[in-house]
Structure 1
Amino acid sequence: MKLNILTKAMLLAGATSLSSYSVAEEADNTQADTEKKLAIEVITVSAQKRLESQQEVALTVNTFDADTLSKSGAFELTDIEKMTAGFSISGESGHDAGISIRGIGAKSISGLDPAVAVFIDGVVQNNVGSAFGSLLDIERIEILRGPQGTLYGKNAPAGAINIITKTPDSLEFGGNVEATYSSWNTQEYKGTVNIPLIEDVLAARVSGLFSESDGYIENKLLDKDANSRERSAARLKLLYTPMENLSAILNVNYSDSEVGNPLQLMGDSIYEFETFENDPGIAEDKNESVSLQIDWELDSLEFTLISAMQDYEFTGPRDNDFSPAEVGMGGSILTIDQKLESESHEFRVTSYDNDKFEFMAGLFYSNQELAGGSLFDNGFFNQNISGVDVTESFGIFTNNTYFLDDDWSVTFGLRYSDDRKSATTTQVDSILGEVQGRDSEHFESFSGSLKLRYMPTTDQTYYVSLDRAYRAGGFNVVAPQHYKEAGYDKYDSETSNAIEIGSKIQFWDNRFQLNTAVFYQEFDDYQYNMFLTEQAVAFAPFFVVSAPAGNVRLNGSDAEAKGAEVEFTVLLSEQLTVKGSVAYNHIEVGSLENVPTTFADAGYATAGPVIIDPRVMPGAGGDTSTIPTKDVSGEVLKGNPQWTSSLFVEYADEFADTSLDWFVRATAKYNGERDKAVLDSYVTADLFAGLRSNSGKWSITAWAKNITDEEYLIFGNDAETSGLGVDVGFPAEPSSYGVTLGYSF
């Protein structure tokens, strides 16, 4: 029976529940009653823009639904990292956001094409940190591994995160509230109400969130919390279905946060969770967006239009010397400001109800303007760099599947991308005075995908996938002027070719599921993010001097990534579920020379432990045109672990002769060494215990995270790679405890 447009919209927003197990009812051919059969639940995803079983999709997809997120105490996207291997997230604010899949990725820089694209309700986020706010009214999250580009409006060489929020229901009034209290005086409150306005025609869904925390790091100098946070968010979704085959969803979002995210000098005291910086370094970001999605079904075709506008603002000061020293007395402050305005439009046509050939074709257009700058001041030298980066992107893409027979199918996709970028910059500093620059570039490329899938039975899928990905080049708008003059003003486009071979198998009467994949990806003109090392750092007992720093993107001639993944789920009984995953990722650059490095490494040192940059310190002398560089050709890329693994164990049951369910869950995550001296391997473990009514009306969950009090860094850099001449890091949260209460109506 053909689904109408409203039913499809509801399914796309909430197609499945990712429970650990399901009890499927089957009709017995020999008797009228039904019997229960234990089996892994079928997970339906929209990863390929149509509803499919996750086990049938010819790519690696990890899915987390609302129930899983709630039971796991997942309040932020960073909590998802603990649930699967080969997936890393770092940072707490939009500016610091970093996402990598299969070891590919780095901290995102607003306005630049990321390695991992983030989509919220079908809209690509031009700042991936927009997804780092607390999770609000989420239906499910899909993590797609490997190059994406022929299904979505944005190219992504490493993968995509597809976040789907819940859709309004035009039939039933309802909602839920949730409250959490945990360590560090952390409080979070969420609420959602669904309101049918006109039955079967119009409905509204309103959600809100407020959270605050003192944080676990204390600034002893200022007697303040160093990584406190306060967040608020709201969402309004309106569903309008004037006809059975026509629907429109208006989505309005707002979020606001203040987050302290201090880097610290490495040393024995870093895990005392104390800092002595003279500036609290509170980063503030605000995100506003509105989107409209229209779906129109006509015969066996569905036409979809998604238009969106996004405004993102960020400001964040940082104590750039990590010390108590005041500005002008050896201390320094670096302030980053950004304002990103964008609009995007995507149009797709998708075929249905064809058992021989399915197709999807689409157009994508976006326009974004990033105005930003960095202001540095140490009392001796000041530098203000500001700029405007404008990007206009156009894409045309198609993805098609031809069913050769009942077992074999081939999927082929193609995309043409056209990106036009321009940048205007102004630098004013104590030495150069005012310098202006302007440039523009045009980038274009073809990318595509070819997949062969073999399904001899409903519980076996084998596939091989060939993909070509592309990332546009661009400009390093806020790089200091003499870096630009030395050739670090822009970077070229990146292309990559990947092959993946995978299998998805269920056996033991569908109680054991085993998914495996191996992959190899080769990059040309690999885009490499580097922290600018324009630093002058002088250490005496109580004296530190520093100069500007920032981010720059440059190209290596080539790079290669290879690895393998294994995931399993086993239902040992109706009550006991075990899941696990192991991933190996190895990324190595080919030729990558002239990478900016510290002045200490380049030999600019006077007697004793004093490091002086002759470019920026008046009276120091030296060659003002010199940019210290290093050669990292053949090195393993730093920052992401090569080996990761995760384990999940849950026992769930009901109390006899009651209307109560209960569960106990344990999770563990291993991250191997991340190829930096300051980033060791570590293991974290979390425990959860919950009680809820059979009807789902109310629930209570108690939890403990990092129960072994493991000491590790969320991110960090040693003296060589930090650009600061010193080891710096941000320690992860120690053991924490909390309770979450939920009520639905």
Structure 2
Amino acid sequence: MTIKKPLTLAIAMANIAVASAWAQEASNQEDDWALEEVTVTATKRETNLMETPVAISAFTQEELDRQGIKNVKDLGSTIPNVDIGYDASQSSPVISMRGVRSTNTTEFGDPAVGLHFDGIYSSRPQSAMAMMFDSERVEAMRGPQGTLYGRNSTVGAINVISKRPVINEFEGSVGVELGRWNQELVKGVINIPVSDTFALRASFMDETRDSYLTGFYDVNQWDNRYIDADSVGAGVLADNAITTFIQANNAEGATDYQLVRADAEDFYGNVDQQAVRIGALWEPTDDISWYAVAEHYQDSSAGGINTIDCEKAEQREDGTTCETYYGSGADEYTVAVNVPGELDLTMTSFRSNFRWDFSDTMAFVYNTGYAVQERSNLIDIDAGRNTWDMSMSITDSENVSYSHELQLQSTGDGPLQWITGLFYFHETTDLNGYFLASLDNAVFWRQPDRTIEASAVFAQATYDLTDTLHLTVGGRYTEDEKSDVGGNNLSCTRDWSTESDEEYGCFPAYLQGTFNSFSTNHFADSSIYTIDTYNDASKSWDSSDFRIGLDYDLTDEVMLYAYVASGFKSGGLGDVVIQYEQDPDTAEYIYDDEGNRVVQQVIDTSYDEEKVITWELGAKGTFLDGRLNLASTFFFSDYKDMQLAAPDTAYSYYAVEREGENAGEITTEPVVIYLTKNAASAEIMGLELEFDWAPYPNGRISGFATWMQTEITSDFQNRWNFNNQALFEISDYGLAHDNTNEELFRNLKGNELPVSPEFSFTINYDHTFELAQGGAIIPFIGIHWEDESYLTYWNVDKHDFPTGDTSAFDDSRDSFWMVSASVKYVSPDDQWNVEAFGNNLTDEIVPYYADGSDGLVSGPFSTPMSYGVRFNYNF
């Protein structure tokens, strides 16, 4: 995709022409049902949404509640060119904006979209799961925001702004929501004026819900340490019973047991979360304001899990379907596990905003934040989809971060408005966890001190060249440093040369009974492993970024703007990977004179920074006597060294084949890790149109329409890592991941970026029916549609493979519709209201990510149709 200057000019002319047409129809008269002005803080100062030269969407708490949005993960269909998936292994949302995302949600991965709470940077994507309640509004800014918002805002930023206490006013509310799958949600707010200068505000939310998955426990899988036939009440299968995949592939002589339906209350996909927030506002004078808030969030659910894309599985020529794996009636929401899901995610944070208008023309602002995230989780990785029986656990993780930002900014109405500041951020992570392939080996991560430190200086100014033409210039210098001190990768491997009951290191012998004699926390003890690598490393990156823009007031109601801005996302550290020398004849390691294994090569899995330059042209206008807001944006982004993450083979080593038909043969075996690469250059361009219209006094229509194209524009030779064995028709796992086999490589130049539909739109409509005796009934309907897209950067169907037809193994996503609706009754005095609602009313099955393994495509899917009722009382 190459953008020519004539096309860019044509888009710009189209924006100006459209804006001019709007202006000709505009009127200066006010109307009774004009739209309310929306105030945003995208430029670190309060401005009118329609007068802010940035592509930005804003939502009030009422709008969030109406659409069932409780956290950032639920925002996907409400913001132009935004898609939000979920990484179950890290309990983390994956936010994609304008085709750019980061699927590296580990402690050293950085999100592509900057996340902020009350204007204060939040480093871990898990914090996006903290519930949205008692919010003033949510602002979603698209395009590079690095000048003012800093870290990881190369493609945009989301700012969740909580409601501040109200001085001299007592108010409160309590709400209840009941829904499908035994959903129960309770929330409340109370605002207490303590004095003429001080007020407190406390709010809380508590939600539980059963899982929407059809979950089973399967005691036939290798690891029975968490469940057994007696504890779950599994009976023996009848001789003529239809078997699942695991039952059919059970070890010879093993007893096959029935699947047992799991309790939906504590199974994967359930909800059990609570949050509380206490805020204080002190305004001792007209010039001083100090807002501080403390917040605590707890998620005690079972976490999420990937399930099979049954539509793709049904296209396999060997007759394999979801029913092959899980029995009759299985679909995308069916799963059988032997490792129950566990999640304990706690986030405690403190935020402070101090402002002092110390003169008529200047103000001082100090923002600071402190957050502690603690997490442990256990997840069944394979979920009965293969016989290796894999699970993963973060046994304990603590992430502590704090930030400081000092601002000096102009005030008043002068022709020059400016802001300058200093920023400092520090984050330390202490993490332990393991991955277990129950049939073969285990690896442990011990990372006691992984640190990120960032500092920056920034400035941005807007100068009125004329009464209608305004120039904005901004810059930011950033230094990022990441270090790993004392980190190790540890491992243990089963000894396949014996079937005795003897124990070998941390791994039991061949017999399953011996394996299951260990406790459930056996593999959580790092002392039973052998250290493979030392991950001590430190790297730093720096960048100077800029923003230059012009905005022009075509009329009092219409604004045109254009800017060019750069963005920067720092590189990252990866685990050290070491390949040891082995005898090609015996596969035995070679040792030096001191008894140490000889190192063949050390592979550095760190990666460099990502940079982008974005050009944007836009127009915003308010028309029809204030009843219609329209905004259009054309953007073009040019990425260099784009960071793309996916499973990859780090190296290969010699190993002896297991006992059996090929006993004693030497082969190569891969070590596959999750790797981030500076993959390629990429170009992205698109058009976003947003509208908000009150066509008559009691009606409201809002939404957006988008067009976007993305493309990897440079050579990106990559050994294929998505459904390798199936696409290349290779039965041996090691050969399918052999870095020396050139036939496994493909050039990904020309591929599209993930979740980048060419077209999409959302339209929302509500109407207020005012009742004769007072009160009102307000029906609402929201419709979202997206064109087809890809879920990864592999774009399987664009490449040729030995298998020929790739439809059963690819990463494509079909176009889809999402429909939500509600009907709300508001009492005559507006003291209480009740609302019936339904989400995903067409019961669409939408995948949000694709993992290709074992000839299957799996991932997280949309929540099925849900419905319920909400009640809220104000006092």
> SS in structure 2 opposite 1:638?
coil
Which amino acid in structure 1 is aligned with residue 545 of structure 2? S
- Identify the residue that residue 393 of structure 1 maps to in structure 2: 454
Of residues 433, 458, 462, the one that matches 2:560 is 462
Give, in whole Å, the separation in 1 of the partners of 2:376 and 2:756. 27
Give, in whole Å, the separation in 2 of the partners of 1:609 and 1:233. 50
Q: 8 Å contact 2:725–2:732 — kept in the other structure?
A: no
Of residues 850, 860, 864, the one that matches 1:716 is 850
Q: 8 Å contact 1:261–1:282 — kept in the other structure?
A: no
- Identify the residue that residue 742 of structure 1 maps to in structure 2: 872
Q: 8 Å contact 2:102–2:110 — kept in the other structure?
A: no
- Residue 595 of structure 1, CA deviation: 3.9
What does the per-residue CA deviation read over 1:281-303, in whole Å, with 9 as the maximum and x for residues that have no partner?
33332111112221111112111
CA RMSD of aligned residues (A): 3.1
- Identify the residue that residue 189 of structure 1 maps to in structure 2: 186
- Residue 648 of structure 1, CA deviation: 0.7
Which amino acid in structure 2 is aligned with residue 646 of structure 1? T
Which amino acid in structure 1 is aligned with residue 424 of structure 2? Y
> SS in structure 2 opposite 1:134?
coil
Please, which moves more after superposition, 134-143 or 256-265?
Answer: 256-265
Which amino acid in structure 2 is aligned with residue 260 of structure 1? G
Of residues 54, 67, 73, the one that matches 2:68 is 73
- Identify the residue that residue 706 of structure 1 maps to in structure 2: 840
Larger proportion of strand: 1
- Identify the residue that residue 827 of structure 2 maps to in structure 1: 693
Pair 1:124-2:121 in alignment: yes
Give, in whole Å, the separation in 2 of the partners of 1:466 and 1:165. 31
Q: 8 Å contact 1:95–1:109 — kept in the other structure?
A: no
Pair 1:417-2:459 in alignment: no
Give, in whole Å, the separation in 1 of the partners of 2:726 and 2:65. 53
**Structure with bigger gyration radius:** 2
What does the per-residue CA deviation read over 1:602-626, in whole Å, with 9 as the maximum and x for residues that have no partner?
8999xx974423799xxxxx99999
Q: 1:84 to 1:441 in 2, by over 3 A?
A: closer
What does the per-residue CA deviation read over 1:76-107, in whole Å, with 9 as the maximum and x for residues that have no partner?
33333232331111228763311112122133
Of residues 377, 390, 394, the one that matches 1:332 is 390
Give, in whole Å, the separation in 1 of the partners of 2:730 and 2:641. 38
> SS in structure 1 opposite 2:619?
strand
Q: 1:111 to 1:232 in 2, by over 3 A?
A: farther
Q: 1:36 to 1:333 in 2, by over 3 A?
A: closer
Pair 1:265-2:311 in alignment: no
> SS in structure 2 opposite 1:38?
coil
Pair 1:584-2:643 in alignment: no
> SS in structure 2 opposite 1:170?
coil
- Identify the residue that residue 229 of structure 2 maps to in structure 1: none
Give, in whole Å, the separation in 1 of the partners of 2:647 and 2:715. 15
**Structure 1 length normalisation: TM-score?**
0.86
Q: 8 Å contact 1:535–1:598 — kept in the other structure?
A: no
Which amino acid in structure 2 is aligned with residue 598 of structure 1? N
> SS in structure 2 opposite 1:151?
helix
Which amino acid in structure 2 is aligned with residue 171 of structure 1? N
**Structure 2 length normalisation: TM-score?**
0.74
Q: 8 Å contact 1:104–1:115 — kept in the other structure?
A: yes
- Identify the residue that residue 804 of structure 2 maps to in structure 1: none
Of residues 426, 434, 437, the one that matches 2:535 is 437
Q: 1:533 to 1:177 in 2, by over 3 A?
A: farther
Which amino acid in structure 2 is aligned with residue 733 of structure 1? T
- Identify the residue that residue 213 of structure 1 maps to in structure 2: 209
> SS in structure 2 opposite 1:457?
coil
Give, in whole Å, the separation in 1 of the partners of 2:761 and 2:306. 27
- Identify the residue that residue 32 of structure 2 maps to in structure 1: 37
Q: 1:501 to 1:567 in 2, by over 3 A?
A: same
Please, which moves more after superposition, 679-688 or 484-493?
Answer: 484-493
- Residue 636 of structure 1, CA deviation: 1.1
Give, in whole Å, the separation in 2 of the partners of 1:344 and 1:88. 28
- Identify the residue that residue 613 of structure 1 maps to in structure 2: 734
Q: How many residues align?
A: 689
Q: 8 Å contact 1:533–1:597 — kept in the other structure?
A: no
Pair 1:204-2:265 in alignment: no
Give, in whole Å, the separation in 1 of the partners of 2:199 and 2:57. 30
Give, in whole Å, the separation in 2 of the partners of 1:689 and 1:54. 28
Written as runs of structure 1 = structure 2, the 5 A alignment for 1:80-99 is: 80-91=75-86, 95-99=91-95
- Residue 132 of structure 1, CA deviation: 1.9
Q: 8 Å contact 1:533–1:724 — kept in the other structure?
A: no
Please, which moves more after superposition, 708-717 or 184-193?
Answer: 708-717
Of residues 742, 751, 772, the one that matches 1:635 is 751
Of residues 814, 827, 840, the one that matches 1:680 is 814
> SS in structure 2 opposite 1:178?
strand
- Identify the residue that residue 351 of structure 1 maps to in structure 2: 410
- Residue 651 of structure 1, CA deviation: 0.8
- Identify the residue that residue 732 of structure 1 maps to in structure 2: 862
Q: 8 Å contact 1:285–1:314 — kept in the other structure?
A: yes
> SS in structure 1 opposite 2:340?
coil
- Identify the residue that residue 598 of structure 1 maps to in structure 2: 721
- Identify the residue that residue 6 of structure 1 maps to in structure 2: none
Give, in whole Å, the separation in 2 of the partners of 1:381 and 1:627. 29
Q: Which runs of 5+ in 2 are unaligned?
A: 1-26, 218-259, 312-321, 323-329, 494-529, 581-599, 653-657, 659-668, 792-810
Q: 1:167 to 1:596 in 2, by over 3 A?
A: farther
Give, in whole Å, the separation in 2 of the partners of 1:696 and 1:78. 30
Pair 1:223-2:261 in alignment: yes
Give, in whole Å, the separation in 1 of the partners of 2:719 and 2:199. 55
- Identify the residue that residue 543 of structure 1 maps to in structure 2: none
- Residue 307 of structure 1, CA deviation: 1.6
> SS in structure 1 opposite 2:366?
strand
- Identify the residue that residue 619 of structure 1 maps to in structure 2: none
Give, in whole Å, the separation in 1 of the partners of 2:765 and 2:702. 6
What does the per-residue CA deviation read over 1:105-152, in whole Å, with 9 as the maximum and x for residues that have no partner?
133444433210011011111112212232121110011010001222
- Identify the residue that residue 341 of structure 1 maps to in structure 2: 400
Of residues 103, 115, 119, the one that matches 2:99 is 103
> SS in structure 1 opposite 2:153?
coil
Q: 8 Å contact 1:602–1:629 — kept in the other structure?
A: no
- Identify the residue that residue 169 of structure 2 maps to in structure 1: 172
Give, in whole Å, the separation in 2 of the partners of 1:190 and 1:611. 54
Which amino acid in structure 2 is aligned with residue 699 of structure 1? N
